[in-house]
Structure 1
Amino acid sequence: MDFDNQGLASYEIIGTPAEEMYDQITAMAAEICQCPVGLIVFLEKERQWFKSVYGFSLKETPIEYSICKRFQEKEMDQMIINDLKNSDHFSQHPARLEYGIQFYAGFPLRAENGQVIGSCCVLDFKPNKLTEFQIRNLQLLTQQVMQLLAQHKAYKRLEREKEELKSWQKIVHQSAELSKIGGIYIDFKNQKVVLGEHTKRLFNLHDSYSLSYDEYLNQKFDLIDNPLGHLLKKIRQFDPDTPTPSNSCILKLEAFEKVFQINYAINQSKLICTFLDISENKNLEDKILSYKVMMEEVELQREIGAWEVDTQTNQLNWTENTYKIYGIPPNTPLDLDYVKSFYSNISFSSMERDFNDCISKRQAYNSIYQFKSHDKKKKWVRVTARPLIQGGEVRKVIGSIQDITKDYQLKEELTKNINLLKEKNNFLTNLANNNSFFIYKMNQEGRITFVNEYYKRTFQNANELRIGEKINDEVLIGESKLEAIKVAQAAFRNKGEIYRVKLIQKNNKGKELTCQWDFSVYEGKNEDELLCIGYDISELEAKTKQLLQTSKLTSFFNGKLIEFNNLVSHNFRSHVASIKGLFSLIELSKSNEEKFEFLNLAKGSLETLDETLFNLNSITDLNLPNETEVDPINLNFFFLQIIKNSFPFLLTKDHRFRFEVAEDLIILNFPEYLKIIVIQILSFGFKSRPENEPYWLSIKAYQKDTDFIHIDISNNSKQAFKMEEQEFAHFRDDKWKISSAQNLMKFLGGRLTINNDGANSITFKLSLPNGN
């Protein structure tokens, strides 16, 4: 059998420490099956490893001692061996011979690809036999193990995604420090001018510098010796009456040796403009251009080889410099095949095409070719040629050859650097305008020194957020305000350290967002500044909350399973004991009338036992809902569907049904869990009805406030209750129905109470949170 560990490895469970939820399952399995040992086993190639052990001292064994590996060898859904000694396959198994294992019962654990990765099992040191009830519960516990494994796998995936987010956050944080962009915002409607914080530093202006709308409009600003003055004059030329959603231009300021790229959007109400200093890029381009001119001049002064070809005899003649370029001794015999050996097929074909065109079309050419010299050095040469015509025919082709290898390589390097610089500028520009991260900076007084557009669009009105004003902490909810202040103070005390905090905030639309922020203080030009970078993790928080909710529900039903087991065990023993005693009395009785009376009593006990079995079947067939999402529930439609599908006889004339639920009454809650609660209450009420009276049922729903919905379910039950008794201990055989409903209500954050008017009438009062 080939071993494939892929399915087990995908869960990342091997080597993890002991966990209470797994240990509870093994303990429960051993208790239910009345076995001393309970195990959760995972199968590797060389060993079997125990995630949870109850009643056994070992944590792992070699794979040869594994009984569970039989699941991998033979396809089966369960394996129960009452006595290993009587088994052909396991009679000589090391687990029996060395550890004394005599009994085994287990169910396989399967990965998503169907591969058996382990088992949930119980062991005994003596022969044993399980009942159907014990087998069924062992299977349910195995399913719970698979649910825990799925949750563990999902949690590991979330951890990896979180680490990836941390890496990206670090990259964005470092890149943002390299971005140098200034900007100006002009509000024509409210006559306001806002200079970006970086604009002041870009043009060496004091942080307190400000520009009024009148100064901008009439060009009365005192910035003659500052490039910003010239930029403002350029911007003043943009016409608000000609709306432009997006445009750009280049402004060269030779007096300041500066070049700016201006990007702007304008309409009749506002102008948004950014400046990007591209002087370094422009200087580099100018250097390339000047180098090109210089290189052309050098070409004219350098030594150039000459050559000629006699088209009648194909004889080649080279000057000494041409031999030197090819790296061969002067006067070496030449022919076309020898020259061709220096070139690649593609390069020689290009040169041959130019040469033939020169002859056939009688035109000169100037081309660049690549070849390898005699000493195997890669070279680039510029070749010029022109035809010599005599008697109407091309007699010779003469030309020059020049080694331009160094110049060509330098041009390639410069072109590569320009492309890299352009990519860098594009990256930084995109970073400044990103729509993934909230970025702002503030000084120790809490005044804003920089804020990106994404933050303003999400949390602030752009017209209300100005550089130099204090950050608006009204977007923080509850304790997040104090937490943000605490972390900011710690960052100012420890410069350079990064402090991470999770804050609850309210966006422009009033929606609550969970954001993760990194706070760090850096030395600014004039004062220390707090850099804050954050991003929305609301969706990740929701997934984590759902995972914890699923885990809580699993633990809840583990406890209910133990309660149910104890209740059913007690009921079965009492019914069986009654039947057994009645049949003993029948054997001792000599009167046929007494025997007939005892038989009737035994028949009643059997009917009660049958009813208990029916209830047992109901609870074991109860499937938990797969979906745990909060959804809107129309209570009018919800209750009528339950009555129609599960209790249709209540709509007949033999019973009375009163329904007071508004058609538009809607609640946000878990529909599947609420359905289980209502069915349990209605089932209990109908079973407890008076035997010789018509059954009546009343359902009423109403809302007193926005946080809770109240539901009253009343019926004429024969049970009697006291107002102060809320433990439901007097419900006897049907205790599990009301107890289950009460615990589910607690899980949903609600409450179930009982009112009794003392006249064979019971009201179940449900208070449900509306979406909380």
Structure 2
Amino acid sequence: MPIASFHPQQAERLAALYDYEILETEREREFDEIVQLAAASCGTAISVINFIDAERQWFKAETGLGVRETPLATSLCSHVILEDEFVEIHDTLLDQRMSDNPLCCGDPGLRFYAGALLKTADGLPLGTLCVLDYEPKELTPLQRDTIRVLASQVMAQLDLRKTLRHAEMLRKEVDHRVKNSLQSLSSLVRLSGRKAQAEETIEALATIGSRIDAVAMLHEELYRTDAGHVIELGRYLENLISHFRQIAPDNVTLNFQGTETKVTSNEAVAVGTLINEFVANAFKHAFPDNRFGQIDIVVTRNGDDGLIRVNCRDDGVGLSEDTDLSTGGLGMQIAAVISAELDAKLDVDTKSDGLNVTVEFASKISE
């Protein structure tokens, strides 16, 4: 029995096959349906999607055969991958390559074979989609075209999966680098803040740090949900508040009430920065001498006009009476800048029992 020669580009062919990571995977409906359709369309007892490994023929899907692999010594397809893109053998016993193959000579023996190559974009053959039967026959032109089209669909599935897998690997690498960069930048800002002498510089660096924290939290949310540029604001802010609860002073309670509503990533960063700034300043200034108090963050979306309302309030000492809200503290300036970013209405209410800051804006993501 003649054994098929190795493919002229055997090393490259095997490397391409292994890169698809298809060998030893479980059966899947998408591929099972293809072989079932191939067999039904061609009126054959058997159809398989097979890949020619170094020493075996492995079946991703099969109908009418009942095994997942066979040795290359008895493989019909190991001959076919050395030939044209489509091979049809009307009677295997009349073909010198297969006339003494045990699979063909047995009882019952495989007497008919037709298969289309599964090949890469570079033309490297990985295996075939084929149909087999126990009696000689000849396919119609439509049946041959059906096999060719189904083989193309198999490769389209494999190529898509490989592309998605490589994209996921790239995304993980980018995520790792972004995380490291943000952590390094955050550490640098905090280190600079410790060394700074001027109060304005210290506050400015703290605000920059808050912005970085908001971006880092947003990046984590984007990576976790794979949501593109659309963010569920409530979930994002819940994660942000959870971070603040971990560092909150023992005398301060932090509450959050939000609704799941979609915003753009830029809007999420702006809102996150505003809350960061408010909470950080409240921790630092609102509750002197370890007095007990609470901070409430409430986010709602108006069902009538769709406006998103972000309310930050504390029951601390409030701003001093001589504070000019239009030009006063860096925190108020940051709130004004963020309001401009969101094209939002800003309302600041300060009194002896606390500070209340509200922004109201229309998201570019409509619901």
Q: TM-score, normalised by structure 1?
A: 0.28
| The one of 16, 19, 28 aligned to 1:19 | 28
- Name the residue aligned to 2:174: 165
| Distance 1:493-1:51 versus aligned 2 partners, 3 A rule | farther
| Distance 1:7-1:97 versus aligned 2 partners, 3 A rule | same
- Name the residue aligned to 1:53: 62
Mapped partners of 1:70, 1:37: distance in 2: 18
Mapped partners of 1:55, 1:450: distance in 2: 64
| The one of 9, 34, 39 aligned to 1:30 | 39
The question of 1:487 aligning with 2:239 is answered: yes
Q: How far off is 1:116 after superposition?
A: 1.2
Q: How far off is 1:22 after superposition?
A: 1.3
- Name the residue aligned to 2:89: 81
- For structure 2, the residue ranges without an aligned partner over 5 or more in a row are 1-5, 219-228, 248-260, 270-279, 285-367
Mapped partners of 2:212, 2:140: distance in 1: 68
- Name the residue aligned to 1:41: 50
The question of 1:139 aligning with 2:148 is answered: yes
Q: How far off is 1:123 after superposition?
A: 1.2
Mapped partners of 1:37, 1:494: distance in 2: 63
Give yes or no for contact 1:40–1:120 (8 Å, CA) kept in 2: yes
Within 5 Å, which residues of 2 pair with 1:102-501? 102-180=111-189, 199=193, 202=195, 227-228=197-198, 450-452=210-212, 480-488=232-240
- Name the residue aligned to 2:358: none
Q: TM-score, normalised by structure 2?
A: 0.55
Mapped partners of 1:177, 1:451: distance in 2: 9
CA RMSD, aligned part only? 4.1
User: Which structure would you say has the larger RCO, counting Cα contacts within 8 Å and 6 or more residues apart?
Assistant: 2
The alignment covers a number of residue pairs equal to 240
- Name the residue aligned to 2:264: 506
Give yes or no for contact 1:64–1:94 (8 Å, CA) kept in 2: no
Q: How far off is 1:85 after superposition?
A: 1.9
| Distance 1:489-1:65 versus aligned 2 partners, 3 A rule | farther
Q: Deviations over 1:559-613 (max 9, x none)?
A: xxxxxxxxxxxxxxxxxxxxxxxxxxxxxxxxxxxxxxxxxxxxxxxxxxxxxxx
Q: How far off is 1:76 after superposition?
A: 1.2
Give yes or no for contact 2:115–2:130 (8 Å, CA) kept in 1: yes
Mapped partners of 2:240, 2:213: distance in 1: 22
Q: How far off is 1:110 after superposition?
A: 1.2
Give yes or no for contact 1:23–1:52 (8 Å, CA) kept in 2: yes
3-state secondary structure, aligned to 2:129? strand
Give yes or no for contact 1:181–1:275 (8 Å, CA) kept in 2: no
3-state secondary structure, aligned to 1:179? helix
| Distance 1:9-1:450 versus aligned 2 partners, 3 A rule | same
Q: How far off is 1:13 after superposition?
A: 2.0
3-state secondary structure, aligned to 1:114? coil
| Distance 1:506-1:52 versus aligned 2 partners, 3 A rule | same
Q: How far off is 1:478 after superposition?
A: 8.5
Q: Deviations over 1:99-144 (max 9, x none)?
A: 7322111111111221211101011122222222211111111111
Q: How far off is 1:6 after superposition?
A: 2.4
Give yes or no for contact 1:7–1:112 (8 Å, CA) kept in 2: no
Mapped partners of 1:50, 1:493: distance in 2: 54
Mapped partners of 1:78, 1:91: distance in 2: 20
3-state secondary structure, aligned to 2:210? strand
3-state secondary structure, aligned to 1:180? helix
3-state secondary structure, aligned to 1:57? coil
Q: How far off is 1:9 after superposition?
A: 2.6
